[in-house]
Structure 1
């Protein structure tokens, strides 16, 4: 049996949680499989928690704390770890995205990466990462556009995206860049495997205020959810939490304009790009 991988608890709070979990498990004299059987949960999930690659749900963390006799210390650490999920969440999401058969997505702030033009992507990345050099930005733009190769598969995935109206109204990169981006959205919506809807301003408050939600589905594997909010991201695999986040997406989807009206709203936004006076600092 290979030696257990060394843990560096200084990497992140999830890594610190994982190191604490392993220490408690070893103190109890259990293998990962034995601890998993007591929860119950697959031993592979225990391994991911210990490596800091995943953070358990609230309920699961409390069960781990109780079974391991941590007297609340492990779950107290979870409260902080949950706020700062593993930093490789996007990398793992990208891997899942490449294998998905269906992608259902609500975008709060920007056009989905799978539908971005190169110019729009460059502007988004440049604004989000102002400390990056021009070469670093170009590398990131190329990586984002490369994700669109998923549609070149012999069986491309279904992409059903709900865009907040702010996405199509905020002029990113100026009128020319934004018109080209909106035109690409309209062109994409004409494909059999891509559906676009707009969540209108008049819908008011909704279940995913301030965050974006992506539900990934597969041929022979359970759904996975990817959450984005500000600078924090989280990949959700726990079936119970996946169901909750899918419910969140469904509630937003239910408020969106019908398909035909959504495309008309995008066309209207395209016509109105540049109609407002440019912003000038006083």
Structure 2
């Protein structure tokens, strides 16, 4: 009973629309994420996450902000899990140039991305703004694999979310993600690009 209650309390730290996804993310063996507005929550530093939540509208009270930050950072336990999940992130260049929270906050975030990007199980790719072909115009999404077989897709906008298990829907998004990766800078080129951005800070 205590173990079950602990799980419920942990999930309660997240907004209702996100709780099911958070549970699945913790179990994932593979994650593929495309983001076009902010750095993926899983990759955020504490300062960057605070900036994001303090800009939230409607405004969140201070206690909720701190609760959400703690929950977001707790998700990063995924990075130390063994066996390590395979993770891929495609991030729009504009996200890395938008100094949410100020230049020092963004500098810390870029440095964290470099650290993650050098891990063998994590690949970060930047989608240059200058690309004249782009497969991600329909918006951000995340693909999850649980175990060897179970594949799902997650999307959210404002306070609405959708979790898909339909193989046709998931397959279409997997195809989209493959195209996005082909259109973006390679992981190595992306790390060089992020280092260049750091030099501009």
Select which of 14, 21, 29 maps to 1:101: 29
Q: Distance in 1 between matches of 2:158 and 2:138?
A: 8
Greater RCO (CA < 8 Å, at least 6 residues apart)? 2
Check conservation: 2:53, 2:60, Cα contact below 8 A: no
C-alpha distance in 1 between matches for 2:114 and 2:167: 34
Corresponding residue for 2:41?
A: 113
Q: Distance in 2 between matches of 1:190 and 1:263?
A: 8
Q: Please state if 1:186 is matched with 2:114.
A: yes
CA–CA separation in structure 2 for the residues paired with 1:230 and 1:197: 25
Q: 1:230 and 1:252, CA in 2 relative to 1: closer, same or farther beyond 3 A?
A: farther
Give the secondary-structure state (helix, strand or coil) at the position aligned to 1:109.
coil
Is 2:17–2:160's contact at 8 Å kept on the other side of the alignment? no
After TM superposition, the structure 1 = structure 2 runs for residues 1-282 of structure 1, keeping only pairs within 5 Å, are 88-209=16-137, 211-273=139-201
Asked if 2 retains the 8 angstrom alpha-carbon contact of 1:108 and 1:210, the reply is no
TM-score (norm: length of structure 1) = 0.63
Runs of 4+ that moved beyond 3 A: 229-232
- 1:207, CA displacement in angstroms? 2.4
Q: Using the alignment, how far apart are the partners of 1:184 and 1:257 within structure 2?
A: 19
Measured after TM superposition, the shift of residue 245 of structure 1 is 1.5
SS at match of 2:150: coil
Q: 1:121 to 1:193 in 2, by over 3 A?
A: same
What's the RMSD between the two structures over aligned residues? Answer: 1.7
Q: Deviations over 1:19-60 (max 9, x none)?
A: xxxxxxxxxxxxxxxxxxxxxxxxxxxxxxxxxxxxxxxxxx
CA-to-aligned-CA distance 1:40-92 (integer Å, 9 cap, x gap):
xxxxxxxxxxxxxxxxxxxxxxxxxxxxxxxxxxxxxxxxxxxxxxx954211
Whose strand fraction is larger, Structure 1's or Structure 2's? 2
Deviations 1:95-116, CA, capped at 9 Å, x for gaps: 1110011101111111111111
Deviation at 1:208, TM superposition (A): 1.9
- 1:203 CA drift (Å): 1.3
**Aligned length, in residue pairs:** 187
- Deviation at residue 233 of structure 1 after TM alignment: 2.1
- TM-score with structure 2 length normalisation? 0.87
Quick one: distance in 2 between partners of 1:210 and 1:137? 29
Q: Distance between the aligned counterparts of 1:204 and 1:128, measured in 2?
A: 32
Matched residue SS, 1:101? strand
Which runs of no fewer than 5 residues in structure 1 stay unpaired? 1-86, 274-282
- Partner of residue 11, structure 2: none
